Amino acid sequence: MLGISGKSAPTEGSAATPTAQVGGGLRQRLSAFFRRHQGLFLFSSASGALIAAMVALSLVLTRPAPEDMTQEDIDNAVVDTLQNQSIPSRAAKAAELVREVVVHVRGFIDNDYGGYIEYGEGSGVVILDKGLILTNLHVVSGASRLTVTFSDGMESEAVVSSQHPENDLAVVQAKNIPDDLPAATLGSASRLKPGDEVVVVGFPFGIGPSVSAGVVSGLGREFKTPDGKRTLTQLIQFDAAANPGNSGGPLVTMDGEVVGIVTAILNPTRAGTFVGIGFAVTIAVAGNAVGIAPF
């Protein structure tokens, strides 16, 4: 077990154990019995089975007694396991807990040839197992066609079932869903503290699912949208890397609870990429906006 070996067997000339003495005498008696009745056993298949059983019994009786496992054996096994088997990080465990509830959201608009061209993309979180998905409004706004891709690769058409511009949120309903689709475990931001570890999962620049890890860097923040039309409040500030395409994805605790929906990044330049400050709408605010319990 786990690389533990017992003590070596006695060497030739050493005193035999009581078990070995008993087993050796029985083996001699069985051998003499077989020689006296050899003819009978050659013509009897039933007796052949009996011989096999007796041989097996003699082997069991002559097997050395198992050694007791010491505390040192146990300690060595634990050390060997820790040294030779990698243990997943806390961030990896958290990301795995939400893997099946994160979806890739893509929006399309009509082109001049009766087809569609991609208009934008982002991420989403399954909040009900019937295929109801929470994402950002700016991810789906203006799209004439929507698709969502689930963790197993299944793609489905989707429709916007409700919009909540005051919180930059939208609820999307997938038309088809995988079997046994799980829903996210939703948590409250009220237990968060600056410095708590969090993970962001989504599709930055359409690549993913991608995982980044960081900490909560602030609570109760405000953010004015680039168009200046809305001010989002009660936001979670975090420093896990987020980029265009992460919008609508989950902000996750180390317990795998979704406590926020990634909605914005702060960048003083026109690059539109992450410089260390991201914001997420809390699940409590999202719940009040979309009217879905429990949150």
Catalytically active residues are 138, 168, 247
Per the rule left: phi > 0, alpha: psi between -120 and 50, beta: everything else, 176 is beta
167: burial class by Cβ within 10 Å (0-12, 13-18, 19+)? buried
Contact status, residue 264 vs residue 279, Cβ threshold 8 Å: yes
Alpha carbons 131 and 150: distance in angstroms, whole number? 10
Alpha carbons 126 and 100: distance in angstroms, whole number? 9
Contact status, residue 237 vs residue 76, Cβ threshold 8 Å: no
* Residue 71 CA to its chain's centroid (Å): 34
Single-letter code of the amino acid located at 213: A
